[in-house]
A and B are shown apart, each in its own frame.
Chain A
Amino acid sequence: MKAGTLDWSTFRHQYLTRDRVLGVVYLTFAVLIWWLFFPNIEPGASAKFGLNIVTAVKPPPLPDLVVPARPAVLFLGFIAAFLGGWQLARGFREPQAVLGVILIIFLVAFLLWATAGKSFNLVGMLASTLLRAAPITFGALSGVWCERTAVINIGIEGMMLSAAFTGVVVASATQNLYWGLVAAVLTGGLLGLVLAVLAVTFRVDQIIAGTAINIFAVGLTSFLSQSWLAVRQDLNAAGNFKPIPIPVLAQIPILGPIFFNVNIIIYIMMLLVVLSHIVLFHTRWGLRMRAVGEHPRAADTLGINVYLTRYISVTIGGMIAGLGGAYFTLGSVGRFDEVMTAGKGFIGLAAMIFGKWTPIGGFIASVIFGFADALQVKMAILRIPIPSEFLLMAPYIVTIVVLSGVVGRALPPAADGQPYVKE
């Protein structure tokens, strides 16, 4: 009964699959850094990273960050190689986290290569990251609110699209962006309620119910946009929310322009991330929500109304998706275009899973997706020798990699997707 007498097949099953393979993967990244980037950088070229962006409120300007590209890439390769060697020889306790570090190292090396001999506005890209993360974050939060009570909301995309539409129409008609925002939230809430009726009361398969909402939203908004907005252009010209600088905070270098000089929808998003976390983990309501999502019968036996809890959460989830929809029109371009949500609702669901069904995790995941998106745009500007089609794929490739479970798997709420039947 000694644990030491494990034979080869055991060894293969237990060890080769993870730790060793990861070590080899780390080393591969080191080799890639040396092979792909190092020889392709002009000797002596330096990468210039801008740390200021042009806005109405100007924090004190910072000097550009100038890095000698070749030595830096060489050094990053060494770090990756060292981590790989250490993993093979000793092993890390959290090899997945080290994988994250390796990916960041690879990314930095990539940026150095792309920027070598040129200049690149780093803070500008980070600010753009937050904006691009916004709809995804709303999607992820909507998903968290719904799935924590065990209702899968695959209809976030459709809720966003519908809300984007009603938001712009109401804002244009009333000439008031805030009424547009309210309309968007109500639209999302209404569709959330529809999902709740279908999924909770009628126990329709939740994937089908959500898909129905998506198809409905795409069809209806496209139809109305072609047949109606095309004629009434005045109803599709709402304008958009302008950035509101917060006094003092907006003056902080780097952080100020990124976080404290944005429009109201982005502020609402940041607030919602924190608020959702507090509600979910520190209030009575959140405890009950989570119980309903994990073990509805247990909640029921303690006198908690499972159906009502799900109705309320899913409706709130819909309203949050509605805010995400408003971002597309009122928070950014100010007009509605067909199918303008472009899968952001689905990426939001991916971010929710990656973020382990927590608001803060979902936000961080959304930022990663937003970063991939922002990077893609900036790289196209830098004219690097990678076809733009491949760059456009970046956010989706990140999504696939994340969902395939490479970065560690989390468990969904135990009752996720299962209708509750009272006996």
Chain B
Amino acid sequence: MAPVLELRNITKRFPGVVANDGVHLTLEEGEIHALLGENGAGKTTLMNILYGLYHADEGEILVRGQQVDIRSPSDAIALGIGMVHQHFMLVPVMTVTENIILGAEPTRIGPFLDRRNAAKRIRELSRTYGLDVDPDAYVKDLPVGIQQRVEILKLLYRQANILILDEPTAVLTPQEVDEFFEVIRTLVARGNSVIFISHKLKEVMTIADRITVLRRGKVVGTTTPAETTEAELAAMMVGRTVSLTVEKKPAEPGDVVLTVENLHVLDERGEPAVRGVSFDVRAGEILGIAGVQGNGQTELVEAITGLRAPVGGRIRIKEVDVTWSSPRHIFELGTAHIPEDRQRDGLVLSYPVRDNLVLNTYYHPPFAVGFRVQGEVIDRHAVRLVQEFDIRTPSIYTPVSHLSGGNQQKVIVAREFSRPIDLLVASQPTRGLDVGSIEYIHHRLIEKRDQGCAVLLVSSELDEILALSDRIAVMYEGQIMAILPAEEATREQLGLLMAGVRPETVQEEGGRT
């Protein structure tokens, strides 16, 4: 029997890069086929070609043995191909039903929406696949885990049977990931075939029937979990052997640098996002804040760095009350910030590298004397940092928008680390970076800690938290569930905390196992 899906020799070029270079991929019926690769390896491009969002420059696509031409998502949908995008394609202000039927709306008497019938079908589908969701709820009110179910229901509603899941676990807690895997297995048991895109080795080893590894747009190889190991996959992915752990000495905590007391912060919509958080960070230690994204970490970091005014509580840096201080006052006190969204909050994208390197020091000597900016000094400073931090850029005059994500992050790290600091607030510092850059950033964070800097690390990657932190705080719905010494914390325990299960219960469970 012909495979459900076959990609032959797919090539896609973007200006300056070959995103996919002669890629072959086959998907058998009822198979979970993992597509593994680093960010930028071309996984998403390949799937966007399959889904009709891009058009391949070369190569052919066969669905159930028939050669097809997919020019738009509607073509893909008609062929039974469905995709859950890495960033959910849901309209927050609409209901679950509206989101699911969008583009394939059932109507009665002409153009009028038949919401009741749609909701009924959605309930049936939810039951069949164990994807519990309220059809009348608004998407904006649903946690991400449920939103993901809505995305999957969207595909099933369209009777898709080739399901592409692009990094579906990025937003889930470890326990949710397990539940999600159950859902995938149910889907496959009912005759669907799944392409599972990921860069997480553990997950791929758990769920996949077969694994295809992409590197720089090319297929490096196809294997099965039985035939390979995590280390081997990592090597295939990166092209050299990588150490999956970070080496560090035990911490030597000093004085308290940052104190947060009973902090309350509201989010954009005026809803409480941080609800009574207290902790402190000492010099020479890394406090990791774990948690599924969207549990108040963003607002917490914004409050500490002065970007958002808290509505209650106290923040002190080196005994100075900075609760209502301006960002400038806070970083003048020796605080460095690696923001979550580096392109929005960390850089001025259209500015050259050299200017971005002095964004928060340009008005101080030696960069400015009186009103005059010292161009030459800034140039020399930039040249030195580019070398020291290994920023790969054609020149210091290149706009940072032209740099890769990893190098953009290095520009921020270089800027923040090149002035004397006592507190480092790093939010999702390695999100979207390649393994090489991740290693580099991790190394630098540990180095700062060893120099006696207090480090607050916020990350939704549990592995990162476990690898770097000396103490781990878990945030859930705006509160800190517990703060644990890193050596005592286990993945399972943190996972439960991230899901909002209280510490007492965790300890009980820990006692039983």
Contact = CB atoms under 8 A, between A and B. Distances in A.
Given A287-B98, A295-B91, A423-B54, A301 B113 contact: no
B294 interface: no
Contact of B312 (A7, A288, A294, A297): A7
A300 interface: yes
Interface residues of B, number: 39
A299 B309 contact: no
B102 A302 contact: yes
Contacts of A174: none
A14 interface: yes
Nearest to A302: B103
Interface string B298-320: 00000000000101110000000
A304 B98 CA distance: 14
B113 A283 contact: yes
A288 B113 contact: no
Which among B48, B83, B91, B101 has the greatest number of chain A C-beta atoms within 10 A?
B91
Given A14-B312, A295-B89, A299-B103, A9 B324 contact: yes
Interface in A1-38: 1-3, 5-7, 9-10, 13-14
A217 interface: no
Which among B54, B89, B104 has the greatest number of chain A C-beta atoms within 10 A?
B89
Nearest to A283: B111
A304 B104 CA distance: 10
B313 A299 contact: no
Contacts of A93: none
B77 interface: yes
Interface in B228-283: 262, 264, 275-276, 278
B103 A1 contact: no
B102 A9 contact: no
B92 interface: yes
Contacts of B89: 295, 297-298, 301-302
Nearest to B323: A9
B102 A13 contact: no
A304 B103 contact: yes
A347 to B, nearest CB: 26
A295 B276 contact: no
Interface residues of A, number: 31
B52 to A, nearest CB: 9
Interface in A358-391: none
A287 B105 contact: yes
Interface in B334-354: none
Contacts of A287: 94, 98, 101-102, 105, 113
Contacts of A14: 311-312
Contacts of A291: 91, 94, 102
A297 B53 CA distance: 10
B276 A302 contact: no
A284 interface: yes
A282 interface: yes
B83 A301 contact: yes
A7 B323 CA distance: 12
A303 interface: yes
Label chain A's interface by main secondary structure.
helix
A292 B48 CA distance: 20
B51 interface: yes
B73 interface: yes
A221 B21 CA distance: 58
B74 interface: yes
Contacts of B324: 9
Contacts of B103: 288, 299, 302-304
Given A13-B309, A423-B48, A298 B90 contact: yes
A299 B90 CA distance: 9
Given A287-B98, A291-B91, A301-B53, A2 B73 contact: no
Interface in B59-109: 72-74, 77, 83, 85, 89-94, 98, 101-105, 107
A304 B107 CA distance: 17
Given A13-B309, A294-B92, A299 B102 contact: yes
Contacts of A300: 53, 73
B111 A284 contact: yes
Nearest to A285: B111
Interface string B96-132: 0010011111010001110000000000000000000
A10 B311 contact: yes
A3 B83 contact: no
A3 B272 CA distance: 11
B297 interface: no
A64 B14 CA distance: 77
A290 interface: yes
A302 B104 contact: yes
B93 A303 contact: no
B105 A298 contact: no
Nearest to B75: A303
B479 interface: yes
B105 A284 contact: yes
A284 B113 contact: yes
A303 B73 contact: yes
Interface string B205-246: 000000000000000000000000000000000000000000
Contact of A13 (B48, B107, B311): B311
Given A1-B262, A283-B112, A284-B111, A302 B312 contact: no
Given A14-B312, A300-B73, A290 B323 contact: no
Interface in A285-331: 285, 287-288, 290-291, 294-295, 297-304
B137 to A, nearest CB: 17
Contacts of B104: 302
A373 B101 CA distance: 44
Nearest to B111: A283
Contacts of A295: 89-92
B231 to A, nearest CB: 35
Interface in B150-170: 154
Contacts of A290: 91, 94
Contacts of A283: 107, 111-113
Nearest to A7: B312
Nearest to B89: A298
B93 A294 contact: yes
A290 B72 CA distance: 21
A89 B490 CA distance: 51
A282 B77 CA distance: 24
Which among B102, B104, B262 has the greatest number of chain A C-beta atoms within 10 A?
B102
Contact of A284 (B77, B94, B107): B107
Contacts of B90: 295, 298
A341 B262 CA distance: 56
Given A287-B98, A291-B94, A303-B103, A1 B313 contact: no
B48 A302 contact: no
B91 A303 contact: no
Interface string B457-471: 000000000000000
Given A5-B262, A288-B103, A294-B94, A302 B77 contact: yes
A378 to B, nearest CB: 40
A294 B95 CA distance: 13
A302 B105 CA distance: 11
Interface in B485-512: none
Nearest to B110: A283
14 contacts: A1-B276, A1-B479, A3-B275, A5-B262, A6-B312, A10-B311, A10-B312, A14-B311, A287-B94, A295-B90, A295-B91, A299-B102, A300-B73, A301-B51
Given A1-B276, A10-B312, A303-B103, 13 more contacts: A1-B262, A1-B479, A2-B276, A284-B107, A284-B111, A291-B94, A294-B93, A295-B92, A297-B89, A299-B103, A301-B51, A301-B85, A303-B77
Interface of B: 48, 51, 53-54, 72-74, 77, 83, 85, 89-94, 98, 101-105, 107, 111-113, 154, 262, 264, 275-276, 278, 309, 311-313, 323-324, 479
Instruction: Sort A-B residue pairs by CB-CB distance and give the 4 closest, nearest first.
Output: A303-B74, A302-B103, A298-B89, A10-B312
